[in-house]
Structure formats: structure tokens, C-alpha cells
Amino acid sequence: MSFQNSLRISAAGMAAQRQRLNVIASNLANLQTTRTPEGGPYKRKDVVFQAKPLVENQDDVSGLSDRQEPLSVEMVKVITDNRPPIMKYQPEHPDADAQGYVAYPNVNAIEEMVNMMSATRSYEANLTMMKTTKDMVNKTIEILKV
């Protein structure tokens, strides 16, 4: 694998995790949002990642090749979590229903924090890989100068 491919894969991984962190931040920011333009409480969002070939091979229509091609990653879409909202009895709340219950978002702060830590660690791993590749390129240039 070339140095350029290594950098592309690391950059794609960092971009994917940045997008994931943005979605997690949105979930945490809307932890108490009981009213949205669509109606009802905010619904938790999550990202879907997909492996993709680093270089599209135009000759191979079947998607199969004799050798293993390097794979990168991309975010395909943001999905909405269909778990039911959390119901809390608060009859004085302006969004309370006839029985006095308020529908809160289906966001679990602890789950989101764990997801944030995981995304941050993945981002850092890709950054480390990018720095290592850069160091290898610099060492190669130094060797070639001699």
C-alpha cells in the first residue's frame, strides 16, 4: 500500500468520526428537547458507516478482484432511533399530555458519552496513523538524500 493510500484511509476515518461526533453532540444538546418542528420530543440520531474501495476499479464490474483492495470508510446516512420516548410525570410542564406525562427524548446521556469516547479514540487512532505515515515519508526522503 502506498503512503498516499494510507493517508487517504486515515483522512476518511477522521472525517467519518468527526461526522459521528457531530451527531452525538446534537443528541446531547437535545437531551431535554420536548418540542420539535415535526411535533413531539427530539428523536435520537445515529450514523451508518460503510466500507468502500479506496480506488474505484472501472474494469471489474462484479466488484470482485484477484487481490484484496484497501478499503476506506464513509458515512452513508444518519438514521433516527425508533425507541419510544421517555415518559415523565410532570403535570405542570407546558408539554404535558392529558394524564400529566411529558414525552422526553429517547437519548441516554451515558450511552452518548460512551459513543463520544469511542469516536474520539477512533479519531485519535486515525490521527496517529496519519502522523506515523508522515514520519515514514520523511524518513524515506532522508534516506534518499544520502
Q: In the numeric block, which cell numbers belong to residue 42?
A: 427530539
pLDDT in tens, 73-106: 999 999 999 999 999 999 999 999 999 999 999 9
Residue 132's pLDDT band (boundaries 50, 70, 90)? very high
Quote the CA–CA distance of 38 and 20 in Å, as a whole number: 23
Closest CA to 9 of 142, 126, 104: 126
Spatial contact of 48 and 75, defined as CB atoms under 8 Å apart: yes
pLDDT in tens, 55-73: 755 444 445 455 577 789 9
Residues 6+ apart with CB under 8 A from 114: none
pLDDT of residue 1: 63
Residue 113's pLDDT band (boundaries 50, 70, 90)? very high
Question: Poorest-confidence range of 50-59, 102-111, 112-121?
Answer: 50-59
Quote the CA–CA distance of 10 and 142 in Å, as a whole number: 23
pLDDT of residue 96: 95
